[in-house]
Amino acid sequence: MGKSAADEKILSYNDVVLRRSDLEILSGPYYLNDRIIEFYFSFLSSTHASQDILLVPPSIAFWMTNCPDVGGLKDFVEPLKLPDKKLVIFPVNDNDDVSVAEGGSHWSLLAYYRSAYVFVHHDSSRQMNKSNAMRLFKSVAGFMGDPSSACNAKYLECIDTPQQVNGYDCGLYVTATARTICCWHESSQNKDATDLWFSAVKEQVNPSVVSEMRKEILGLIKDLMAKE
């Protein structure tokens, strides 16, 4: 496929523009890019249309992790209204070069749950992204709401996170885990804050589900294309 064909726009969904090359990524055993994760997070936001939940796009999470200017980060973060959210989900990437837009080679997920004042990191490849997740945690913890509470926010590495069985499905584990956490949140409004989503993720995210996730996202995009 030539470069111009690969760059052809195939779908505009909310604020996300997908290209022909994104279908190729989903059709084969390839590492997900920023656009596909942003598309699926936008889709989850539409299907779990609660003002309590925020799924942060990869580009914004990347900037939060690597922004060198705390003052600039404040102006950047305030429009997200983080103090109003009960659940915030961030994709974490191992790219630390702000001059490279789609760099990196591994995705993981950091989720903030306000009721427990905890940030939980789910990494499908043996905590490979722990340092990046910790950096993101330290960057955003102070913006999550009441300063006295933000100072007490904890960071937790979920050691029982389901592990990928190849070198390219990390992004799919992020999408599957994000979906599971959103569903858990919607069905757990009256649960104790200490009863987090860990067992749901362990039960519902596995290699078989992740393999189907690739087909599901591809099918979703094709269905939306047919409706345009």
What are the sequence ranges of the domains in the chain? 3-227
Encoded tokens for 113: 């749950």
pLDDT of amino acid 147: 54
Do the Cβ atoms of 31 and 171 come closer than 8 Å? Answer: yes
Instruction: Look up residue 26 and give its amino acid.
Output: L
pLDDT of amino acid 74: 84
Q: Look up the pTM and report it.
A: 0.92
Q: Per residue of the chain (228 residues), what is the pLDDT tens digit?
A: 556 787 899 999 999 999 999 999 999 899 999 999 999 999 999 998 788 999 999 999 998 998 877 777 888 888 999 999 999 999 999 987 655 656 678 999 999 999 889 999 999 999 999 999 999 999 999 898 765 554 578 999 999 999 999 999 999 999 999 999 999 998 866 565 667 999 999 999 999 999 999 999 999 999 999 987
Closest by CA to 140, choosing from 205, 70, 221, 57, is: 70
Fold (CATH) for 3-227: Adenoviral Proteinase; Chain (3.40.395)
Encoded tokens for 75: 């102006």
Question: Rg of the Cα trace of the chain?
Answer: 17
pLDDT of amino acid 50: 85
Cα dihedral: 192, 87, 121, 219 (round 10): 120
